[in-house]
Structure 1
Amino acid sequence: MAVQHTDIQTRIQQAISNSQFKSAITMCKEGIEQSTGTSAVAFWYLKAVAQRLSGQIENALESLHTLLELQPDHGRAYQEQGYCFLAKKQSGDAVSAFYQATKFNPALISAWQQLLKEYQHQNNDQALQLATKHVAYLQNLPRPILGAYDLMYEGQLYKAEQVCRRFLQQNKHHVEAMLLLAELGLRMKVYHDAEFLLESCTALYPHEERGQIAYQSLLLKLGKYPEAIALARTRLEHQPESVAALTALAEGLSGTGELPEAIAIYQQLLRAQPDKPGLWLALGHVQKSAGELKNAIEAYLKAAHYQPELGDAYWSLANTKTYRFTPELLAQMQRIEADKHTSLHDRIHLCFALGKAHEDNRQYDLSFDYYQRGNTLKKRTQDFDIRRTEKALRTQQQVCNAALFKHQAGHLAPDPIFIVGLPRAGSTLLEQILSSHSQIDGTMELHDILSLASRLSGQGEGYPQNLHKLSDKQCQVLGETYLAQTRAYRQSAPYFIDKMPNNFVHIGLIKRILPNAKIIDARREPFACCFSGYKQLFGDGQEFSYDLNDIGRYYLAYEQLMDHWHSVLPGEILTVQHEAVLDDLEGQVQRLLDFIGVEHEEQCLRFYETRRVIKTPSSEQVRQPIYQSGRHQYKAFAEYLTPLFDLFKTSSAKP
């Protein structure tokens, strides 16, 4: 079907080139009828182009409206919208559309050139200077690289990668091509390849600041905080006043738990430039991790003060789970979210914040409307298909059979305790309980197992199939690598916790390279877990959580995979039900400590007194004694959760 669609699109483009607009529109309608969901986007776009060029401006705008409902981050659609508004002599709307086009697709020279005209007309020297510089940069790019950037921003990642790789074969070590291919690797989640490219780029071009910044950002994204700190300090040796390097250093220090120094850096930067909302936001995140909630809230409010449309500031306030919006601030948020000029990124954050605010006010209809709108917008910006995930989890079951674990390989250290499960299932509470023990260090959601899995995916027959081919020596080296990489996050206790929930997928890898590692599955009742995930805007990943059907299917696939791990690794995994912890804290704490093999310590029952860095949305909740109020929050929204009830086939459980 994809090949057929491509052929039709080629014919439509030829018809438009030959001014055969009526024929092009007819073919677009046929293509739309044969398509579902976002696969119709290309046809809606070409239809709008043909309609505009044939003078059907209103029809073109209607087509673009439909397109942007399907894919709200489609840069070329906004550019086409701008041309339609120009035809209607609505210059203000045209400028707004061209600006949105360049936000979503910075490679659109035509949109930038239209903005240049407007900035010249406005005598806006600062905007004119920035736009002129960007246009010059785009015009100096090799045509294949400019084309590949355009493809990437429009979501055609594989095509962009092919163009970029062909160019690199003919122009080895071309800096622009290396940077672009690395960014494509990031977007395609091929992190190991992206890291290799950026590491090579910084070695070949040590004075190319964009390469340094991109490499720094990737290290931070991958949770390689010690490496990110080292790179930031190196950059600061050459540019001691660099705001970008200082900010990167502070983020790295935050990652390794060195919060006082991170806070001091942000405060130093804000004393010099107090009107930087991004810095206030970052400071608030660090203060929240440190348990300084009052200061964090003040920082988030400062961010909103300096940039009222900054959706992330309001979501950060809501995400404390304790802040309550004033009626005035709530009204302001609603006005900004409804403003057509508000960016998609800000609108998504505002929708989730408004959902939480109305939920707190027990206005459940309004609350769900905003949650649903935020989730719908977020989902449309992602290339996620639950079927791919289900297939990947089934592959783990097929490949990681009992034979894989018939004898111990890898590093025999008993140090790691992995807490796995789904987000919002109570893993932070379990970590807080265990890290209150004198023999156990709490860390954070470490990326190291995911990184090792990514590295293995590019070797031999691919991951997880190649787990069977790993020699005992290779397993030991991988185990040693993991322990070495995580050393920076530990204190001095003999055990430490890795609380990356998604590691449930990689239990086969974990037990292959660290056979004595302890694995705890944090489990929560499905409706409560799924709805809690649905109303949470995650910083990165968890793409399954933005649709009720997707999150329900993901939960079922997770259960099936965990059942498999229990069958091939009997007695190696402890499942802890969140509701059981709420009902019998003392009994469940003893189960946990017995499983790990440490003595009972009373402090584990007073976990809320333990002061430590906590970076998850539950940070403030686990700094309080056990409470039951969040247990059945989903019941207030039961009438909207039909997809979940249908999936779990337990309609009798419906309140």
Structure 2
Amino acid sequence: MIAEIKKALAQGQFAESIKLAQNGIKTEQDVASQKELHYLLAVAFRLSGTPDKAISSNQQLIQQYPEHARCWQELGHCYVALNQPHDAAKHFYKATQLNPALLASWRYLESYYQQSQNSQALALARKQTQRLSALPKPILGARDLMYEGHLDTADKLCRQFLSQNKHHAEALTLLGEIGLQLKAYAEAEFVLESCVALYPDHYYAGLEYIKLLNQIGKFRQSLQTCDTLLQHYPQEKSFLLAKAGALLGIGDIQGSVTLYQALLAQDEQQPYINLLLGHALKADGQLQAAIAAYRTAWQIKPDFGDAYWSLANTKTYQFQDVELQAMTSLTRTDDTSTDDRIHLHFALGKAYEDKKQYPLAFEHFQKGNQLKQAQLNYDIASVERQVERQIAHCNSALFTNLPDVGCDDAAPIFIVGLPRAGSTLLEQILASHSQVEGTMELHNILSLVTRLRGNKNAYPDNLTQIDSGYYARFGEQYIQDTQVYRSNKPYFIDKMPNNFLHLGLIKLILPNAKVIDARRAPMDCCFSGYKQLFGEGQEFSYSLDTLARYYLAYEKLMAHWDEVLPGFVLRVQHEDVLDDLESQVRRILAFCNLPFEESCLRFYETERAIKTPSSEQVKQPINRKGQGIWRHYDSQLTALKAHFPQDNTLQEP
């Protein structure tokens, strides 16, 4: 059906195209096909000379799929047909924000900005138009597919082109970008590193490489690359921002702040840089200065949802009524982007919870989660399959047959668990000890998993097939790569919650490492995750049912590790820490073979950069502010409670 419509459109048979599309909409059951049919119907209406009908059709489609970039571009074409250049530019601009590979949109914007004498916007549009126009058609097509979310097809098309053009810079850059989106970090790093080595002054390859290095926590390497590229592009804002992020990553917060402030001194009307400055100041414990930076960001850009959410995410900021009214109004405005709307809903949820207006708070949390979930293509069943594979292949026989094959360094202390389960608190307690270095959520184990998984998803099945000598090398490489986050302390913390999936691998490569499982009562843990908008990852957290299934999968796998690796993991129940801090601290330190130190009880006095949502909470003495909050939402949490009928131990808040 879709092929027939496209053929009719190509032949100028617009009435036939409309008829076919309308019939298809009535009969087609597949959601993706329905989406395409509605889009083609709008195109056919416009080409048939009825742009008003096309606009109506497009607007209906956008209500269901607000991220449909081509739909926004099609609206731009409609307003061009109606001789409404401003409205056309507005919709073409929206299209480019969703899919930067839409050359037709950029071409119109270039012309529009030239006529309106907007020199700054014109320079950006011209740069994009020139770049996209110069791309080989297969690479432009693959880039378009990537932005539309068809990553596997884009990857295949890109590799086909590279088979005939082995060292094409733009193709290599795109392959690295696709790998980054697929979270195939090891392969993406290899591709982009190779591209930068071949083309050391390639702007886009360098930018993507730095972005990847910052994302996987290789901040020292990122800094070196930034400095190299800044020799070719002095004062280039993109590279200076990346350098500031890398400085923050290695703990040079003042260097990061200074760089952000220098960029703002050139032009203070930059909301995104004010936001980043706020993040750096918050990590440094300068909360009031951070709040001022966040407020400046939304004052410059009133619909900047991330600025409002960042204020809410300080966990201390109290919104004024006038701010709440403005935020609510923005969530109802068509011009507010989906991302901004998501951030606003989460911020409003937190604000109304603080005011104890729980039904209104839940309404906003629910809307924010629904919008976020619609953006993601998350499959909880894939995690459940991962857990089953770990249980099947990381069995007792594996560890019996591979005893002490790893690196014997005992420095790492892994803290695993679910987000919002108290892992940051445990990290802060341990980092308050004189012998322990607090680092960050390190990606090193996940990067190793990506390498072992390969293109054929061979991990963990292949753990018995790997030469046993490699396990020590993997462990040594881990110790070497994480050295950049450490000083001279004998122990350090790796607080990557998702490492719970890979404790079998950790045992093989680092048999003397310590693992602490931060556990929290399921209703508190899951609902706290549901209320949190995470910067990246944790895609399971935007649905109550998915959250519950993830928690149960985690619980099942941790029980397996207890069975096959007895004594390797120490479970620390968050509620026990609240009940008796000193006993739990002594228990944790004894497990880590560390002498007791009073400073661990005064963890809130320890000065260190913390980048997780719990940063302000762990700078206060132990309290129960977050315990049992879910009970205020009891009637709305039926789906969650159904999974945890036994979780009735908490007292009424």
TM range (shorter): over 0.9
TM-score normalised to structure 1 length: 0.93
Map 1:158-173 to 2 at 5 A. Answer: 158-173=152-167
Of the candidates 472, 479, 484, which is equivalent to residue 476 of structure 1? 472
| 1:74-118 deviation per Cα after TM superposition (whole angstroms, max 9, x unaligned) | 101112233344556665443322221111112222223333454
Alignment correspondent of 1:639: 635
Residue type matched to 2:2 in 1?
A: Q
Give 1:479 deviation, angstroms: 0.2
Conservation of the 8 A alpha-carbon contact between 1:247 and 1:266? yes
Of the candidates 421, 427, 430, which is equivalent to residue 431 of structure 1? 427
Of the candidates 533, 538, 541, which is equivalent to residue 542 of structure 1? 538
Conservation of the 8 A alpha-carbon contact between 1:589 and 1:604? yes
Give 1:119 deviation, angstroms: 3.3
Of the candidates 17, 38, 42, which is equivalent to residue 36 of structure 2? 42
Give 1:51 deviation, angstroms: 4.7
Conservation of the 8 A alpha-carbon contact between 2:421 and 2:520? yes
Alignment correspondent of 1:98: 92
Residue type matched to 2:66 in 1?
A: P
Map 1:357-436 to 2 at 5 A. Answer: 357-406=351-400, 407-436=403-432
Given the superposition, is the C-alpha separation of residues 55 and 524 from structure 1 closer, same or farther in structure 2, using an over 3 Å criterion?
farther
SS of the counterpart of 1:532? helix
Give the Cα–Cα distance (whole angstroms) in 2 for the partners of residues 156 and 31 of structure 1: 25
Residue type matched to 1:13 in 2?
A: K
Given the superposition, is the C-alpha separation of residues 21 and 9 from structure 1 closer, same or farther in structure 2, using an over 3 Å criterion?
closer
Give the Cα–Cα distance (whole angstroms) in 2 for the partners of residues 92 and 28 of structure 1: 34
Give the Cα–Cα distance (whole angstroms) in 1 for the partners of residues 157 and 345 of structure 2: 37
Of the candidates 278, 291, 294, which is equivalent to residue 284 of structure 1? 278
SS of the counterpart of 1:521? strand
Give the Cα–Cα distance (whole angstroms) in 2 for the partners of residues 383 and 460 of structure 1: 21
| 1:247-275 deviation per Cα after TM superposition (whole angstroms, max 9, x unaligned) | 32221121111222222222233333322
| Larger deviation, residues 45-54 vs 490-499 | 45-54
Alignment correspondent of 2:108: 114
Residue type matched to 1:434 in 2?
A: L
Conservation of the 8 A alpha-carbon contact between 1:28 and 1:47? no
Give 1:501 deviation, angstroms: 0.4
Alignment correspondent of 1:14: 7
Conservation of the 8 A alpha-carbon contact between 2:523 and 2:647? no
Give 1:436 deviation, angstroms: 1.0
Give 1:385 deviation, angstroms: 1.4
Residue type matched to 1:180 in 2?
A: L
| 1:11-56 deviation per Cα after TM superposition (whole angstroms, max 9, x unaligned) | 3433444522244224532564x225x6743333234334544567
Given the superposition, is the C-alpha separation of residues 618 and 173 from structure 1 closer, same or farther in structure 2, using an over 3 Å criterion?
same
Residues 1:317 and 2:311 aligned together: yes
Residues 1:511 and 2:507 aligned together: yes
Given the superposition, is the C-alpha separation of residues 532 and 132 from structure 1 closer, same or farther in structure 2, using an over 3 Å criterion?
same
Give 1:363 deviation, angstroms: 2.1
Give 1:520 deviation, angstroms: 0.6
SS of the counterpart of 1:309? coil
Residues 1:557 and 2:550 aligned together: no
Conservation of the 8 A alpha-carbon contact between 1:72 and 1:377? no
Residues 1:627 and 2:623 aligned together: yes
Residue type matched to 2:307 in 1?
A: A
Conservation of the 8 A alpha-carbon contact between 2:521 and 2:647? no
Q: What is the aligned residue count?
A: 646
Given the superposition, is the C-alpha separation of residues 27 and 148 from structure 1 closer, same or farther in structure 2, using an over 3 Å criterion?
farther
| Runs of 5+ consecutive residues of structure 2 not aligned to the other structure | none
Give 1:461 deviation, angstroms: 6.8
Residue type matched to 2:406 in 1?
A: G
Give the Cα–Cα distance (whole angstroms) in 1 for the partners of residues 68 and 516 of structure 2: 42
Residues 1:587 and 2:583 aligned together: yes
Conservation of the 8 A alpha-carbon contact between 1:41 and 1:70? no
Give the Cα–Cα distance (whole angstroms) in 2 for the partners of residues 567 and 651 of structure 1: 24
| 1:177-209 deviation per Cα after TM superposition (whole angstroms, max 9, x unaligned) | 111111111111111111111101111111112
Give the Cα–Cα distance (whole angstroms) in 2 for the partners of residues 84 and 235 of structure 1: 42
Give the Cα–Cα distance (whole angstroms) in 2 for the partners of residues 128 and 436 of structure 1: 52
Give 1:139 deviation, angstroms: 2.0
Conservation of the 8 A alpha-carbon contact between 2:522 and 2:647? no
Given the superposition, is the C-alpha separation of residues 273 and 130 from structure 1 closer, same or farther in structure 2, using an over 3 Å criterion?
closer
Give 1:608 deviation, angstroms: 0.7
Give the Cα–Cα distance (whole angstroms) in 1 for the partners of residues 647 and 104 of structure 2: 54
Residues 1:464 and 2:457 aligned together: no
Give the Cα–Cα distance (whole angstroms) in 2 for the partners of residues 208 and 263 of structure 1: 27
Give the Cα–Cα distance (whole angstroms) in 1 for the partners of residues 216 and 455 of structure 2: 20
TM-score normalised to structure 2 length: 0.94
Conservation of the 8 A alpha-carbon contact between 2:201 and 2:232? no
| 1:323-348 deviation per Cα after TM superposition (whole angstroms, max 9, x unaligned) | 11122222222233332222222222
Alignment correspondent of 2:497: 501
Give the Cα–Cα distance (whole angstroms) in 2 for the partners of residues 130 and 107 of structure 1: 14
| Larger deviation, residues 448-457 vs 461-470 | 461-470
SS of the counterpart of 1:647? coil
Of the candidates 181, 195, 212, which is equivalent to residue 189 of structure 2? 195
Map 1:175-194 to 2 at 5 A. Answer: 175-194=169-188
| 1:582-612 deviation per Cα after TM superposition (whole angstroms, max 9, x unaligned) | 1111121122112111121111111111111
Give the Cα–Cα distance (whole angstroms) in 1 for the partners of residues 545 and 48 of structure 2: 41
Conservation of the 8 A alpha-carbon contact between 1:12 and 1:27? no
Conservation of the 8 A alpha-carbon contact between 1:429 and 1:622? yes
Given the superposition, is the C-alpha separation of residues 150 and 582 from structure 1 closer, same or farther in structure 2, using an over 3 Å criterion?
same
Give the Cα–Cα distance (whole angstroms) in 2 for the partners of residues 167 and 471 of structure 1: 35
Give the Cα–Cα distance (whole angstroms) in 2 for the partners of residues 333 and 460 of structure 1: 46
Residues 1:251 and 2:237 aligned together: no
Of the candidates 334, 349, 364, which is equivalent to residue 340 of structure 1? 334
Alignment correspondent of 1:4: none
| Runs of 5+ consecutive residues of structure 1 not aligned to the other structure | 1-7
Give the Cα–Cα distance (whole angstroms) in 2 for the partners of residues 529 and 642 of structure 1: 15
Residues 1:521 and 2:514 aligned together: no
Give the Cα–Cα distance (whole angstroms) in 2 for the partners of residues 548 and 514 of structure 1: 35
SS of the counterpart of 1:613? coil
Residue type matched to 1:295 in 2?
A: A
Given the superposition, is the C-alpha separation of residues 593 and 653 from structure 1 closer, same or farther in structure 2, using an over 3 Å criterion?
closer
Give the Cα–Cα distance (whole angstroms) in 1 for the partners of residues 363 and 428 of structure 2: 34
Give the Cα–Cα distance (whole angstroms) in 1 for the partners of residues 479 and 496 of structure 2: 15
Residues 1:174 and 2:158 aligned together: no
Give the Cα–Cα distance (whole angstroms) in 2 for the partners of residues 435 and 115 of structure 1: 52
| 1:359-402 deviation per Cα after TM superposition (whole angstroms, max 9, x unaligned) | 21222222222222222222222221111222122211111111
Conservation of the 8 A alpha-carbon contact between 2:21 and 2:37? no
Q: Percent identity?
A: 50
Residue type matched to 2:191 in 1?
A: L
SS of the counterpart of 1:341? coil
| Larger deviation, residues 619-628 vs 309-318 | 309-318
Residue type matched to 1:76 in 2?
A: R
Given the superposition, is the C-alpha separation of residues 93 and 242 from structure 1 closer, same or farther in structure 2, using an over 3 Å criterion?
closer
